Structure 1
Amino acid sequence: AAGGLPSLFRWEWVTQISTGAGGVIDDNITALAFDDDGVLYIGNPTCLNVRAVNGSVVRISGLQGLPYGNITSISVADGPIVWIGTTMGLIRYDPAGNPAVLGDAFQYFYGPRWHPGTAITSVAATVAASAVP
């Protein structure tokens, strides 16, 4: 548990029962992945939710720069670089990037130039922070 204190979590609301801290997960969970620091990335058909080690949850959607929702898979590489598979292509997300700068936090790969078909059903990150959809 964070801070050495025992805690309980209800995953449908990602709420820490003892304090009430947390946030709402918008939809059914379709993908989960941890980075090396213990940050949990939660994908769903609506957006990406990021749960920090302290239990706080941040919602990342189109308003925050996410190119496409409907997440099908997530894999985390060193850095951390988060690779997000969707029903309409692949997204590279750099949590340290600036979402206000085009291509800094998010890069979107869609169409025959990047991969055959449209949907990414699973993704695996490599050591070099690249991905194999």
Structure 2
Amino acid sequence: MRTRDRWRIAHCDDEVARIRAFGRKGWLPAFRDATLFKTAYAFGLRRNETRMLGAADFGRNPHGGEFGEHGRCQVRFGTAKKGSPPKRRGVLTVFDWTPDVLDEWFTEVRPLFATNDNPAAWPS
């Protein structure tokens, strides 16, 4: 990972910590946005591909057991050729920090949005 990219990811985390430390109520959306940014970077996703992800789009990679439940991302709305339906593709996890970020999001923070029946990965 390039130094510039490390700085951007660290800045996202710092902003969430700053908002939460002041007791402001926007820390949940800030945390969501930081996780969304990290996910887009980790899997090399385009803006619309990231936006359209669902909670069920993450799964195991049979050849990468060390990544657990977040070893693969199934992109359902990839960029397609003109006049064609969206392309589907699977993207494997390569960064060792990615599963930790996604696990924290799906187990600890996303349930705070009170979206029990919402299949979207990034509820608002």
Which is strand-richer, 1 or 2? 1
TM-score (norm 2): 0.23
Which is helix-richer, 1 or 2? 2
TM-score (norm 1): 0.22
Say which structure, 1 or 2, has more relative contact order (CA 8 Å, 6+ apart): 2
